[in-house]
Structure 1
Amino acid sequence: MPHASRSASLPELTALFGAVQQHFLNVIVPLWQGPGWNAEMALPYEALDASHQPLPPQRYRAMACARQLYLFSSLIGVVDGAATRAAALFRSLQRHFHDAEHGGWFYSIDPQGKPLDSRKDLYTHAFILFACAHYWEKSREPLVESTLDAALEVISRRFATGDGLYEACLERDWLTLETGPLQNPLMHLAEAFLATLAVREDAAVQQALIELCTAMHKRFVDPQHGVLMEKPLGAVDNWYEPGHQFEWYFLLESSPLLRGSRLHAALDRAFAFTEQYGVVSASGAVRASLDLEMDGRPLDSTQRIWAQAEYLRALTLRPGSEAVVLRQLQALQQRFLHAGGWHECRDEQGEVSRKDMPSTTPYHLATCYRGLADYLN
């Protein structure tokens, strides 16, 4: 966007972003360096309560470990100890979750470190690929790249269905569970492919990404409104989520490879429709899910911080958006951030409905703030 077109809201936006970034570095990140870190397991606890105490652990997920690996990889050179923490998280990913017998990574382990849910899900594997790409960019350790390669190999060999899409979940030994493809794991796989292509040239990954987006347009996009459904077209009880529309839009719009694709064109066209029904105009709150068969009426009006962050990030790629970016950053700060951390969810009336702070949320804030930093630069 040309600098000359920037409106008078730019200085205010820059100042507010500085404050929000300091909150992230001084309040949120230290939660996961201190009380959120189980030093014995070398894993993040799943969540902290409002007084910064870990919730009694029921499980540890590989996906949560991978998201924190991304977080601390992104902070190398910015936060003291980030490189040491990223190295510990990478080791824990392999030590606790890698399946030496069948390959791939378990979904979760129990508090003692034994496999709990030993199924293989695409969502987890996509985040492992995503985190390894970012960590390899910073560390250049051969072991990290070999783990990245192993994740790519298992995704293409085990999860791929041959039509550009991928199974959402398989048994530990890779037998089918007949889940079929689902939108959310496929989106994070696209994100992981993009992260891989950002750190190295990879013709196979590039081809897989193009085929994935082509298949998503064919199988998941509602032809009338252009929105991406959560399940393939024709599935019973289907719905769509504004947060995911905005997340996909950012991935597609920010990629020279995908910008101009049919999937990008559909989501670009559907952006205003998603805003109209998915964003509460008075507060800027993003609704959780909508029913397309009911003219886009809300199925769930819960307001989640991650969806708020994804809408804000998507807006940074819309032309002439300074005023609305400022408004949405104010909404994020005032409605979700507080002196002790953040509110995970608010209900339809705007009341805080979840007081715990999950270890997975800083990933969304980190990617949002990275988008904002790029926008302001």
Structure 2
Amino acid sequence: MQQAVPVRQDDTVVRWVDLPDHRAWLAGALADQLRSGRGFPAAGGGAHYLDDEGRPDLSRPVHTWVTARMAHVYGLGHLAGLPGTRALAAHALAGLRGPLHDAEHGGWYASVGPGDERDTTKAAYAHAFVVFASATGSVAGLPGARDLLDDALEVLDTRFWEDGPGLHLDAVSADWSQVSVYRGVNANMHSVEALLAAADATGDERWRRRAGRIAATVLGWAAGNDWRIPEHFDAEWQPQMEHHRDEPDHPFEPYGATVGHGLEWARLALHVRAALGDEAPAGLLEGAQGLFERAVADGWAADGEDGFVYTTDWEGRPVVRQRMHWVLAEAVGAAAALGAVTGERRYEDWYRTWWDYASEHVVTPQGSWIHELDPQNRPAGTVWPGRPDLYHSVHAVLLQRLPLAPTAPTALAAGLLR
């Protein structure tokens, strides 16, 4: 079993991200990933779901969330100076301005195709990614991106935001008449990063403050639950701790504690803290550390094999033991962020350990990431077949070369990439 190996025998920490060769390796990994995903464009705009070989899976619809993620990462590629990425980002954005947009009622369908059918559900998760993608596109100067961002922010604000609890509801019918009774943390998590990016792109501080409010609420719930985040709620925002016990490997709403979300929230809390400065909610650093420690203790090699399990029960026992690439990506990002803020060597130890694991099990010779492994670290596809997008893995090789604030698109545009 791989354990975090001390960086040095004294108290001096040499961070890999400070070494030119490691930064060059990360830059090469970013270019490799964006090269591996170039087959995504769908006719008329948008992004196909990709299979294990990076080919479009034409049996699946074109999803808003996949399209927005690809628009975002290829927009980052353009801002980072990688030739050929601008046109791909613009093509994905065209899908959000065209076939995926509901011209009658506003907002975005969950998906369209592969024939003429549409999933007309309006999901906060997908709408958060439309905000994120259009914020990146606005900073990158992509056609129509700023109008798209203004539209997406208005929809997220007027159709999904519940000001009483200070959170976004989850899903609404196509004509906005029927609201799902389910409430969830996942959509709110992605709304935090989207709103931070939107604040940077527009200069409107209310989005940054809203992100801080969401983060403080979720970290408060986690603090009261031994740093395992309650994920699922009813319409009154009462926790539903047994949600999907009979479907524990649900790709978006799994039962129990989702290890990767603890790591992702740890990183996001530090972005919020950096973005808001003196106005940040109290306790974000301590919360990030609590979430990180809990996720690592519960999730890493929890069943005797290297890798992070997908979920645990509320006592920290593994439930779904599949290893998801996105959990590893968020672990790398959280370790890098906490190491940058605290200077503590344990975070650098884990950062190195997880990149070694990724190199051995997850990153292919072509530079793409295997999205799911079984408990023995063999390629699998029971929860996430194929390799639908590059969002988490691109963040894993890019964010540690940028400051925690401003957000990645604005930092890249300002020349802050190391």
Q: TM-score range by the shorter chain?
A: 0.7 to 0.9
Structure 1 stretch 157-166 or stretch 63-72: which is displaced more?
A: 157-166
Residue 290 of structure 1 pairs with residue 312 of structure 2: yes
The Cα shift of 1:105 comes to: 0.6
State the Cα deviation string for residues 249-306 of structure 1 (Å, max 9, x = none): 10111232275535654342242222111111776511111111xx210111110101
Query: What pairs up with 1:1-377 in 2 under 5 angstroms?
Result: 7=13, 10=16, 15-16=21-22, 18-26=24-32, 28-33=33-38, 35-38=39-42, 40-50=43-53, 52-76=54-78, 78-112=81-115, 114-139=116-141, 143-163=144-164, 164-217=166-219, 220-221=221-222, 223-232=224-233, 234-238=239-243, 239-255=256-272, 256=274, 257=276, 261-262=282-283, 265-280=286-301, 284-292=306-314, 295-318=315-338, 319-320=344-345, 321-340=347-366, 341-354=368-381, 357-360=386-389, 362-374=390-402, 377=418
The Cα shift of 1:184 comes to: 0.6
Counterparts of 1:29 and 1:231, CA distance in 2: 33
Counterparts of 2:17 and 2:63, CA distance in 1: 41
Structure 1 stretch 144-153 or stretch 300-309: which is displaced more?
A: 144-153
What letter is aligned with 2:66?
A
**TM-score normalised by the chain length of structure 2:** 0.79
**TM-score normalised by the chain length of structure 1:** 0.87
Pairwise CA RMSD:
2.7
Structure 1 stretch 228-237 or stretch 79-88: which is displaced more?
A: 228-237
**Partner secondary structure for residue 74 of structure 2:** helix
Would the aligned equivalents of 1:291 and 1:297 in 2 still touch at CA under 8 Å? yes
Counterparts of 1:81 and 1:131, CA distance in 2: 18
Counterparts of 1:7 and 1:14, CA distance in 2: 16
Counterparts of 1:193 and 1:53, CA distance in 2: 32
Counterparts of 2:18 and 2:145, CA distance in 1: 41
Would the aligned equivalents of 1:315 and 1:324 in 2 still touch at CA under 8 Å? yes
Counterparts of 1:94 and 1:140, CA distance in 2: 12
1:5–1:102 CA distance, 2 compared to 1 (3 A): farther
In structure 2, the gaps of 5 or more residues are: 1-9, 244-255, 339-343, 404-416
Counterparts of 2:129 and 2:113, CA distance in 1: 20
Percent identical among aligned pairs is 20
Structure 1 stretch 16-25 or stretch 302-311: which is displaced more?
A: 16-25
**Which of 1 and 2 has higher RCO (CA within 8 Å, sep 6+)?**
2
The Cα shift of 1:70 comes to: 0.4
State the Cα deviation string for residues 60-99 of structure 1 (Å, max 9, x = none): 1011111010011101152222112222221221111111
1:352–1:199 CA distance, 2 compared to 1 (3 A): same
In structure 1, the gaps of 5 or more residues are: none
Counterparts of 2:142 and 2:98, CA distance in 1: 20
Counterparts of 1:167 and 1:356, CA distance in 2: 28
Would the aligned equivalents of 1:168 and 1:180 in 2 still touch at CA under 8 Å? yes
The Cα shift of 1:6 comes to: 5.3
Would the aligned equivalents of 1:288 and 1:302 in 2 still touch at CA under 8 Å? yes
When the two structures are aligned, how many residues end up with a matched partner?
Answer: 364
Counterparts of 1:181 and 1:315, CA distance in 2: 29
Would the aligned equivalents of 2:231 and 2:257 in 1 still touch at CA under 8 Å? yes
Counterparts of 2:348 and 2:209, CA distance in 1: 35
**Partner secondary structure for residue 287 of structure 1:** coil
